[in-house]
Structures are given as structure tokens and as C-alpha cells.
Structure 1
Amino acid sequence: MLPALLSGNLCSLRGEEERYAFSCIWTMTSNADIQSVKYHKSLIKSKAALTYERAQEIIDDSSQKGDVAESLRGLMKLSKVLNSRRLGNGALTLASSEVRFDMDWETKTPKKVMEKAHLDTHSMVEEFMLLANISVAEKILSEYPDCALLRRHPIPLKESYKPLVEAARHRGFEVSVESGKALADSLDRCKDETNPMLNRLLRMLTTRCMTQAVYFSAGTIPVPQYQHFGLACAIYTHFTSPIRRYADVVVHRLLAAAIGADDIGAGLLSQAKVQKLCANINYRHKQAQYAGRASVQLNVVRYFRGRQETCEGFVLGVRSNGIQVFVPKYGLESIIVLQTSAETTIDVEELCVRSGDVTVREFDRVKVRIYVNEKNQQRPRVELNLVKPAIPGLSVDFDLSSSEGLGI
């Protein structure tokens, strides 16, 4: 992020204060059909600065009748139409584990760790951000067909879906991977009333079967490959977050030149230079993902140091050396490693662990104890012990580095 003075003030909309912006403005029908699109350098004086939670409260409170409340409800209605339309085109609804920390800034230690809650207002904002990104991608591609900075999500190979297909099959469901629409529809059908978490776990597993979305320069690959598989759109870019992504800054420059609001640098008219820039942004994005995971791991360790807790978890995977457990309460994921034992066996083909009369299968609900192992002073780590069902010879090694994610 940029320094706080820029990211949280000068470059962000604030209630009742004027701020310069770059706007994508649509004229829409009540059914979210776009009649026209305009792009402007703009001056905005926002009526209110709201958190997602506060905006949701206003929408849900029928006694709220002001301009802000009515505008929010109108946006929510349009966003639901846009979302339904995207899903109808085959867009995927995936899942991942994300946590947030309530920090004690005096000691710089987390007071609380919690999984991020998803609200309808998150989806409302996301739909218009996606639409803006698509609209801007269309505009800059029309002006710069050989050097526009775009973002694509390649179609995954069918072989990469094998863990997902096998996991669903063992639970009595069939997942079709013939197309994005077939995949989305089959995931919608994978529901178990006795285990509401099953659908979410399958979507998390689907995320890990995906290829990574990447930036590229227009003109370097065939046009059909421009598509974004996860979003089910033919063209896409990043425009909406210039305070945290350099790609968006480049797109702003391209769009400003496309509408005659600014001159364009010679470097952005060179396909080779734009492609080299994209390669660097893709690399830096990957490194930022690693750093983000390491930050989460560090703060989870700091939170659990000196304490332990027993929580509900779910078996996200059965590996040749143990089971992978996901703890929804903390968005925590870890491998419980199986020590060799004559009594306990792992059946990777059947995705289960057997120990006497006890069988633990993929997606089963379990109870685990979470604590920090500080035997290695140089590398303290969060560990899980399986509490229920009890299986002898299980230990844990906490590692988030294998979690990929889609990175839309």
C-alpha cells in the first residue's frame, strides 16, 4: 500500500470532502442493462464514508429512508442482477480461508483472530468493480490493441481437477469439468444437509485446482486466450485499485490517453516493454502472496503463544503422510502428520484414515487442539492435535505456503 496519508486520505473517498477521481460511469436500465459508458477524470464529494458492516446495517434497516439508504438499496438490487447474470454465463463462486486480526497497536500483537465474514455489501461493491474493470478493458483494448495491459485467467487442464473430482465422487457427487458453466452448476448441486461445510470445502478445493490469473500485453497471444475463466468474461483488466496495485496505475494512464485526458508515455506504446512490465508485476504479485501468507502465519503464532484452544475442524484432504485439517473459526489450515503404526493406515485411494474401528474420511468433521510448539526457539510453530476421533500417532506441522488461490 501507499503511505497512509495517500492511501487512507488523499487518494480515498471521504465523507463530505472533495476528492479527485477517475470514474467509469454507466447509464443502466432497472434490469442492469448498460445503455452507455463514459470515462471521466472527476471530482467527487461523497455523502458518507461507510464500512461494509455499516452499509449492510443501513440496507437491512427498513426505517432508514434517506438518500444514502435508498441509493445503497438501488445499488444492491442492480448488483444482484449483475451477479445472477455472471453466474448464468458460467462464472465460478469459489472459496478460500481468510483471517483478520484485531491488533493491540501498543504491543503490536493480535488480540483476536477471526475468519473474515462475507456480507452482501462485499458482493455489491465487487460486482461494480468487476464491471468497471471489464468496461475499461474493452476501452483500452479498442484504442491500443497491441499494447493494452490486460489480465487473463487460463482455462485449467482437466487433469488438474482430479483431486476435486475424486473428493466429490467419494461423497456421492459428480463434478463436471467440461466447461466453466458445467463446473459451476455441478458445484451448486454438491450439498449435504448433514454437513453444510461440504460445499464450501469443495469450492476451496476447486480454487486450488485453478491456474493462476496473470497480466499480459494485448497482441502477444491469440484473442480467444484473453478470456478470464473464473469470471466467465472475454476480456478483463485491473482498474479499480491504483493505491495498492501498480497494474491499475498503468491502466489509468492508458485510459487517460484513450479519452484524451492525458498524453501517453512512449514506453506504454511498446508491446515488448508492456509485456516485460507484466512479467515483473506477475513475479512481484507472487512474492506478495508469499509475504502475505508468512504474515498470517507469524501473527497466528503470536496469538496462540501461551494459550491453547479446542476447535471444530474439517478434513480438507487425505495425504500419504497424514490429514490436512481446516479450522473455520480461525481460517487455519494445517497438516496432521501420521507416524508409522501397525494399527493406523492411510488409504489415499479411498481418501480415508483407518485406526481400529475408527475411520476418518475427507470432509469429515473433527475436533482439534491448537497450540504453539516452542521447542525450536528459532522457529516456533502452531500445532494441531486430533482430539476427536482419537487416533494414535498424529502430530502437526503448520504450513500455509502450498495454498495457491485464484488471485482474480
Structure 2
Amino acid sequence: MSSLKTSINKDMMRPTGRVVGIIKRNWRPYCGMLSKSQIKEARRHLFTPADRRIPRIRIETRQADTLEGQRIIVAIDGWPRNSRYPNGHFVKNLGSAGDKETETEVLLLEHDVPHQAFSQAVLSFLPKMPWSITEEDMKHREDLRHLNVCSVDPPGCTDIDDALHCREIGNGNLEVGVHIADVSHFIRPGNALDEESVKRGTTVYLCEKRIDMVPELLSSNLCSLRSNVDRLAFSCIWEMNHEAEILKTRFTKSVINSKASLTYAEAQMRIDSATMNDDITNSLRGLNRLAKILKKKRIDNGALTLASPEVRFHMDSETHDPIDLQTKELKETNSMVEEFMLLANISVAQKIYDEFPEFALLRKHPAPPPSNYDILVKAAKSKNLEIKTDSAKALAESLDKAESPAFPYLNTLLRILTTRCMMQAVYFCSGMDNDFHHYGLASPIYTHFTSPIRRYADIIVHRLLAVAIGADSTYPELTDKHKLAEMCKNLNYRHKMAQYAQRASVAFHTQLFFKTKGVVNEDAYILFVRKNAIVVLIPKYGLEGTVFFEEKDKPAPKLEYNSEVPSLTVEDTTLHMFDKVKVNIMLDDSNIQHQKMRMVLVEPKVSSKDEPEKKKKKLQK
């Protein structure tokens, strides 16, 4: 008995403390809406921030009537000790709540995404047009314009970072090249353009707009490796045998002239075509064949292939409203490009680390603590499948085996769940860390080199590589590991916020989509069971939501949660992880500032046998 007592007490003993002083305020301007005072002609009102974690703010304004129903920005001035609310003042009106432009602006502000137009100071460092390659530019460069280089990207892509080529060379081996836009040629260390790019850290892709990291002249023109124009590149060139083994690697600044800008579908069509045998098509076939071998090696090595239910919206060309959703379909050519980008990133990581062991900018993906996998293992076990998690390789292999002929979608669900168990990948400086391993890719070292138009980390990696091969000079900040570590911190923050902003954009567009749809009845799968709810995934829309079983003003159903199985019994119906269910989806816009998707379980039908009985008792009370 006593041991039970101590275990209970231990669980209940939580260290507590109290705030005695605030050293630094972390206030920022907040977006939200005015909650107008009920008192006529009042000047003092409360402001409700969009971020639910922020308290309401008391402000004074004479424009309450015009600000009602608008999204506004308010700043905090102070928080008197005896007041329930901080005091603040009105800063700016963003526009009507629910309006697409306004909501996008709120979303960017709330996720701290720098999105103002580029200043004149920044633009003054752009090359003057018309631009062309000079003899000076060619000094440290190889002329590779004769090669059959092409790019493969999603449709409508204007910021083309990378291009590829593959050809047979005299000794029977293959020469494979990854050519990356030479952004660091245009963005020189320390000027206003560089400072702005490092502050932004990354390009942010929302559903219908892109917030560029670098001005459009570079992102969509001079640095974009479009076809049939000369472009400056940084090339990583391998000599490989037909088994995709690397015999030699070299890096060079170059000039290329891409022969084709293809979409994934167009590239796939060429590879599969029975009649096409031109140089570009043959180059693509060579790349595709090698990529398959590289992918197999990677997977044999223990790399993970995880699923995420990604969704793209089809926009109405006039109104830009979402009219249809499609789940992303991946072609072989997506994988082909990915394999060579990964290979280039690994090759460059090794090179800059060999050259600068103290200040290489690398990217690592920590292995998750074993307890992260508990939920995955339990869920698989409930379907009589075993998931091993002692290494990435064991995990990858058991995921491959976890198939159920009667339930083909189960494997995807397990992979989605595995993604949730993972840690975040982060940038770090090699001199400040000793664990370099990239768990998801099963690579001992990794970095980002292949997307300098849309990621600042890649620009630093380009600068390090250029110094390593003698193609450019160094500068003090580049070899200061403390400055690099600070920069990595900002880049990790910006990447995280960009990810959240992208998710918020998808959520907002999903709401717009369902606004016109009314109530929709769809198949769903249970991803998680909670104590009083289930989290479901609707594959058709790549949409996730929570079905709550306790509702206001309704008698609470009998709920029994079992964390071992994971299952939740509602009255007489037991729901397990991965069960297929049917739900009604509708938009709940009762709170204009926090609109949300509401989901209600339709099948299996959960009914309470003693419903009338409960009502009777309630009345008697």
C-alpha cells in the first residue's frame, strides 16, 4: 500500500514557482478584433487578439463604430499591477474580417513573416538591366553551355533553383551534374540586400502567393535557371559508374544554358515515350535509372520514406477562391530530382566540413527519444503488426512490412503517424556541436545547397564552398562560429514560422472551400484517440480534425479511455486508432475571428440507451 501511496504522491508533486519580476517584455503588435463596449458613446473598449494565448487588451478609441468587424493591430503600452487587462493603443486597421487579403495579412503578421516590399536600399544592390555575363564573371568559371542541361519542376514554377544533366563519357562511365543557381554571385556579404535576405531566411509559400526571400529580379529572372538563356550556376559534377557509385566529385562555378524547363509530368512523358530519343530525353532516362539505384541504396541504408497528406487547391482564375482540392500525386520524376538534390547536399556537406571543420553550416535531424514511438507501436500492435524502432533502418523495414491486404490505406496511416513521432531538423554550426547525424535520411552528414533562391542557409553554404575551391574570397563573419550559430538560430526560427504560416494558409483556404459546400459527409480514419475525443484524417481533403463527444448543454455521454490499446469507448461503441468512420464536416463560423472546421461522427452511430431517462432525471432535479 505504501508504495502505491508514494507513487501517487510523486506524480502529484510538481515544482511550482511564482513570478516576482519581469526582466524583458516580449510584446509585439497584435492582430485581432475590437469587442465594443456596451456603454453608449464609450471610449474605452476591449480588444481580443487572434492569438488565444494573449489576454484581452484595454484600449481607448473614438472610432469604435468603424472598427467593429475589422481586423486591427493593437500595441501594448503597459500592464498595471491591479488590472486584469493590459492597456494598449490602436495602431492600424487591416480590413474586414474574413476578407482574403486581410486574413493573409493577419496570418503573415501573426507568424512574424517579414513581407513588406523590398526597400530602395535593398533594390539598389541589384544588377542593372539589361544584364549579361562579362569576361570578369568568367574568370573563375567553367563554360558548360554545351551540355544538355534541363530543369524539372512543378507546373508554374518561376524560381528554378536547379538543373541536371547526364551523359556517357569516353571511359564508359557517366558524368552527372547538378547545377544550382549562383545566387551568392549577386548577393554580396554585408550589403542591404544580404541583410534583408538573412532576416527573411526563407521564401514562404502560401496557397496563392509567395513571399520571396530575394527580390523578383533575382528569384524569377536572373537566378532562375530558365531554358535557352545563359545563367550563372554552381555545379556539382560526379563521375559515376553504371551502378551509381561515385568515382570522382568536383565542384565548379559555371555558366549553363538550360535546354528545357520541364514539369514533372512532361519529364515523365519523355522518359516513357517509345519514340523520343533526343539528347535531353536520353539524359533524363540516364538520370532516372541512376536515381532508382541511389534511392534503393539509401533505403537499404535505413532512410525513411514518410507520408504526409499534402493537398493542393485549384483556384478560380478570376476570384482566386479555392474550387477544388487534390491530394498531391508524386511521379517517378519527383523522386528522380530529389535523389540528385540529396546527393549534391551530402557531397557539399562533406566538402565544406573537410575544409572548415569549425564553421561549416550543416543540417541535422536528431533521432527521436524512444518514448516518442510508444503511440505508433501500440497502434500497430492493435492491428497485429510489429513496428521496430531501435534504429531508423529497423523502423523503415518494419514500415515496409506493415501491410494489410484488407486495409490498403493502413500503411499510409502508419507513415503519417511516424512523421508525428519525429523531431524537427535544424541548421547548426559544425564547431558548436558534435552530433551531425541526419536520422530521416540515414546520412552521417547533410546540409542545404540546392535552393539558394529560397533558403538563406544555402547561400552561406555556397560561400563556404566557393572559398573551399578558391572561386571566391572569404570575409570575417563567415569564419566566426558564434555568429554562424546565431544565424542558425534565426534560420531555424524563420523556417518554423514559415511552416506554420503555410499550414495556417491551407487551413484558411479549407474554410473558404467548405463555406460554399455546406455539410459534407466523408470517410475518415481515426489517427489518435484522446480522453474525450478522436482525431480523424479525411484522405479526400488531406484534412485533419477533432470530433468531440462532450458538448455544451447536452448530457455528457459515458466515456472510457484505454491508453494501452489506445481506444475510446463512447457509451457502447468502442473506437480504435485507424478505424474507418464516417463524419460530417461543416464550417463553424459562429466566432468570426476563430472560424473552425467542425466534425461530427455519423458512423458508427453513437447513441446513449438511457437518453430519455437522463432527461427525466434532469427535469426532476
TM-score w.r.t. length of structure 1: 0.92
437, 450, 475: which one aligns with 1:265: 475
Q: Please, which runs of 5 or more residues in structure 2 have no aligned partner?
A: 1-202, 204-211, 609-621
Deviation larger for 340-349 or 113-122? 340-349
| Bigger RCO of structures 1 and 2 (CA < 8 A, at least 6 apart) | 1
Q: What residue in structure 2 maps to residue 252 of structure 1?
A: 462
Within the alignment, does 1:370 sit opposite 2:585 as a pair?
yes
Within the alignment, does 1:159 sit opposite 2:159 as a pair?
no
Q: Matched residues in 2 for 1:57 and 1:368: separation?
A: 39
Q: Matched residues in 2 for 1:264 and 1:285: separation?
A: 26
Q: Deviations over 1:210-267 (max 9, x none)?
A: 1111111112122xx1110111111000000111111011111111111111111210
Q: What residue in structure 1 maps to residue 511 of structure 2?
A: 301
Q: What residue in structure 1 maps to residue 533 of structure 2?
A: 322
Q: What residue in structure 1 maps to residue 313 of structure 2?
A: 101
Q: What residue in structure 2 maps to residue 338 of structure 1?
A: 549
Q: Matched residues in 1 for 2:258 and 2:364: separation?
A: 33
364, 367, 381: which one aligns with 1:169: 381
CA shift, 1:384, in A, is 1.9
Kindly indicate whether the alpha-carbon contact (under 8 Å) linking 1:344 and 1:391 is maintained by their aligned counterparts in 2.
no
Q: Deviations over 1:328-353 (max 9, x none)?
A: 12111111112174455443332223
Kindly indicate whether the alpha-carbon contact (under 8 Å) linking 1:344 and 1:392 is maintained by their aligned counterparts in 2.
no
Q: Secondary structure at the match of 2:385?
A: coil
Kindly indicate whether the alpha-carbon contact (under 8 Å) linking 2:522 and 2:585 is maintained by their aligned counterparts in 1.
yes
Q: Secondary structure at the match of 1:20?
A: strand
Q: Give the number of equivalent residue pairs.
A: 391
Within the alignment, does 1:212 sit opposite 2:424 as a pair?
yes
CA shift, 1:18, in A, is 1.8
Q: What residue in structure 2 maps to residue 189 of structure 1?
A: 401
Q: Matched residues in 2 for 1:135 and 1:260: separation?
A: 17
5, 11, 17: which one aligns with 2:223: 11
Within the alignment, does 1:179 sit opposite 2:394 as a pair?
no
Deviation larger for 362-371 or 137-146? 362-371
Q: What residue in structure 1 maps to residue 606 of structure 2?
A: 391
Q: Deviations over 1:308-342 (max 9, x none)?
A: 33222111111112111111121111111121744
Identity of paired residues, percent? 49
Deviation larger for 190-199 or 346-355? 346-355
CA shift, 1:279, in A, is 1.0
Q: Matched residues in 1 for 2:528 and 2:275: separation?
A: 47
Kindly indicate whether the alpha-carbon contact (under 8 Å) linking 1:191 and 1:198 is maintained by their aligned counterparts in 2.
yes
* Root-mean-square deviation (Å): 1.7
Q: Matched residues in 2 for 1:380 and 1:175: separation?
A: 38
Within the alignment, does 1:228 sit opposite 2:438 as a pair?
yes
Q: Matched residues in 2 for 1:369 and 1:191: separation?
A: 29
Q: Secondary structure at the match of 2:569?
A: strand
After superposition, residues 47-196 of structure 1 pair within 5 angstroms as 47-196=259-408
Q: Deviations over 1:336-394 (max 9, x none)?
A: 1121744554433322233466433211122222221111122222222222222259x
One-letter code aligned to 1:364: D
Q: Secondary structure at the match of 1:378?
A: helix
Larger radius of gyration: 2
Q: Matched residues in 2 for 1:57 and 1:324: separation?
A: 39
Q: Deviations over 1:84-129 (max 9, x none)?
A: 0011111111111211122235323212222111111111100000
Deviation larger for 357-366 or 15-24? 357-366
Kindly indicate whether the alpha-carbon contact (under 8 Å) linking 2:572 and 2:606 is maintained by their aligned counterparts in 1.
no
CA shift, 1:62, in A, is 2.3
Deviation larger for 123-132 or 58-67? 58-67
One-letter code aligned to 1:312: D
Kindly indicate whether the alpha-carbon contact (under 8 Å) linking 1:322 and 1:346 is maintained by their aligned counterparts in 2.
no
Kindly indicate whether the alpha-carbon contact (under 8 Å) linking 1:344 and 1:355 is maintained by their aligned counterparts in 2.
yes
482, 487, 497: which one aligns with 1:287: 497
CA shift, 1:156, in A, is 1.3
TM-score w.r.t. length of structure 2: 0.61
Q: Matched residues in 1 for 2:312 and 2:252: separation?
A: 35
Go from structure 1 to structure 2 and tell me whether the alpha carbon gap of 1:311 and 1:60 turns closer, same or farther (over 3 Å shift).
Answer: farther
Q: Please, which runs of 5 or more residues in structure 1 have no aligned partner?
A: 394-408
Q: Matched residues in 2 for 1:323 and 1:174: separation?
A: 23
